[in-house]
């Protein structure tokens, strides 16, 4: 039996349902990418790249741990789910390269630019009509409860520097290997 949709989708913790919270993350990272493009000082670029990489790491983690599994369970849309997961893996590889380098790397700016383009594509896919967020809204997902879980997990990850504890990383890696 399908779960009933909540009567009000935007009246939860901090007023955010899951989609509003994820979209707010998207807007913040877009702003930092724009600032990076305009930055002329290496220290400022490093500061922005760190903010971008940390925010994207946290965002990807909460999507992968909470939102994507709930989406897949509610919609059974493996195509959208798998595409999003593969896009995350590509972004995480580039994030690792950016974090391991700095402005002394002649490809540093190019790596951040390509990451920006990858994220713009990913965001467009999630937010477009008929995309993952629209499909989630049309499903029986409890977006308020998922939003509460996302906000709670995000707070923990931000307090620990963005990385899930080693046991959670191992668990996620084993789940990914079983796909």
* Residue 132 maps to a domain: yes
The DSSP secondary structure of 63-131, one letter per residue, reads IIIIIHHHHHHHH--HHHHHHHHHHHHHHHHHHHHHHT--TTSTTHHHHHHHHHHHHHHHHHHHHSTTS
* Residue 8 maps to a domain: no
Answer yes or no: is pLDDT of 173 > 90: no
Answer yes or no: is pLDDT of 159 > 50: yes
Q: What percent of the chain is predicted at pLDDT more than 70?
A: 82
Answer yes or no: is pLDDT of 146 > 60: yes
More confident residue, 6 or 162: 162
Average pLDDT value for residue range 149-158: 96
pLDDT in tens, 120-140: 999 999 999 999 999 999 999
| Tally of domains within the chain | 1
* Residue 2 maps to a domain: no
pLDDT in tens, 49-98: 999 999 999 999 999 999 999 999 999 999 999 999 999 999 999 999 99
* Residue 7 maps to a domain: no
């Amino acid at each position: 039996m399908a779960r009933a949709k909540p009567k009000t989708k935007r009246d939860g913790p901090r007023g955010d349902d899951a989609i509003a919270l994820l979209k707010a993350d998207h807007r913040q990272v877009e702003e930092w990418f724009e600032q990076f493009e305009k930055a002329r000082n290496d220290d400022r670029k490093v500061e922005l790249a760190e903010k971008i990489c940390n925010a994207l790491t946290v965002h990807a983690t909460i999507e992968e741990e909470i939102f994507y599994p709930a989406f897949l369970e509610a919609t059974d849309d493996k195509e959208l789910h798998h595409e999003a997961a593969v896009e995350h893996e590509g972004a995480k590889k580039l994030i690792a390269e950016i974090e391991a380098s700095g402005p002394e790397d002649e490809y540093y700016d190019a790596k951040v630019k390509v990451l920006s383009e990858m994220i713009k594509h990913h965001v467009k896919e999630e937010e477009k009509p008929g995309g993952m967020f629209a499909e989630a809204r049309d499903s029986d997902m409890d977006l308020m409860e998922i939003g509460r879980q996302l906000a709670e997990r995000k707070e923990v990850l931000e307090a620990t520097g963005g990385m899930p504890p080693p046991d959670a990383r191992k668990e996620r890696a084993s789940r990914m290997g079983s796909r």
